[in-house]
């Protein structure tokens, strides 16, 4: 028996499960016919939400449940290649796919998502294939801001190595250094000051 809910409802249900890492429930929903390739009004699939909200176990479940031909959306393509970043054909696929550099409706790009979860290797690969490290989402946040907010020194250092701009300001006129100071994150502040 397939689960017959509207697209928004499936995304809402699965989003809650991602944050709680309810892997067994996600598996059950998929077994009962929930479609991992469904998307909401903003163009997000369950895979997008899982990548943004965390839950690496759920990301893996959805990665293998999503039909192969569907993996053309930017973050889905990135997730499908995780764990295989050193493969030259994977790099070529990412380099040739313009979608990997495109923002979603909220201005988030693949590099924003990887910085948010602190995947330094993915940040490096995305920068290598031409993703803009200084891209700003609708809130004016860059990947460096997201790495800083999460206290991820390695990701911040990687982004700075790709010339992340310390002078960009968000919608409330704060630079990344100002945000780090407000948070009191001395490790990140030291890294940012070295680059300044």
Across 45-54, 67-76, 95-104, 182-191, least confident range: 67-76
CA angle (30 as vertex; 29, 35 as ends), nearest 5: 110
User: How many domains is the chain built from?
Assistant: 1
- Domain membership flag for residue 177: yes
Range of the domain at 185: 104-196
pTM of the model: 0.62
Cβ burial of 146 (10 Å; 0-12, 13-18, 19+) is buried
Give 122's pLDDT tier (boundaries 50, 70, 90).
confident
Give yes or no for a contact between 118 and 158, defined as CB atoms under 8 angstroms apart. Answer: no
- Domain membership flag for residue 153: yes
pLDDT of residue 67: 62
pLDDT of residue 114: 81
- Domain membership flag for residue 8: no
Q: Work out the average pLDDT over 175-180.
A: 94
- C-alpha span between 26 and 61 (Å, rounded): 8
CATH number at residue 195: 1.25.40.20
The more confident residue out of 105 and 168 is: 168
- Domain membership flag for residue 195: yes
Sign of CA dihedral 94, 140, 195, 83: negative
- Domain membership flag for residue 144: yes
Q: Work out the average pLDDT over 103-128.
A: 82
The more confident residue out of 54 and 168 is: 168
Give 4's pLDDT tier (boundaries 50, 70, 90).
very low
- Domain membership flag for residue 109: yes
| DSSP state letter for 98 | G
Q: Work out the average pLDDT over 36-51.
A: 67
Residue recorded with tokens 């380099």? 95
pLDDT of residue 193: 93
pLDDT in tens, 128-147: 878 899 999 999 999 999 99
- Domain membership flag for residue 66: no
- Domain membership flag for residue 1: no
């Amino acid at each position: 028996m397939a689960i017959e809910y509207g697209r928004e409802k499936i995304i809402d249900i699965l989003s809650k499960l991602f944050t709680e890492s309810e892997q067994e429930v996600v598996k059950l929903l998929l077994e009962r016919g929930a479609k991992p390739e469904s998307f909401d009004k903003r163009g997000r699939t369950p895979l997008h939400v899982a990548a943004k909200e965390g839950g690496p176990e759920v990301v893996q479940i959805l990665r293998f449940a999503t039909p192969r031909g569907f993996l053309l959306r930017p973050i889905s393509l990135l997730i499908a290649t995780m764990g295989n970043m050193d493969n030259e054909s994977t790099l070529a696929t990412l380099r040739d796919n313009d979608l990997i550099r495109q923002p979603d409706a909220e201005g988030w790009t693949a590099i924003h998502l990887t910085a948010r979860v602190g995947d330094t290797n993915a940040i490096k690969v995305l920068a290598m294939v031409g993703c803009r490290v200084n891209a700003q989402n609708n809130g004016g946040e860059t990947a460096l801001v997201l790495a800083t907010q999460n206290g991820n020194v390695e990701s911040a250092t990687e982004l700075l190595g790709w010339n992340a701009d310390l002078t960009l300001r968000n919608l409330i006129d704060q630079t990344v250094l100002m945000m780090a100071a407000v948070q009191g994150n001395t490790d990140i502040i030291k890294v940012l000051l070295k680059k300044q």
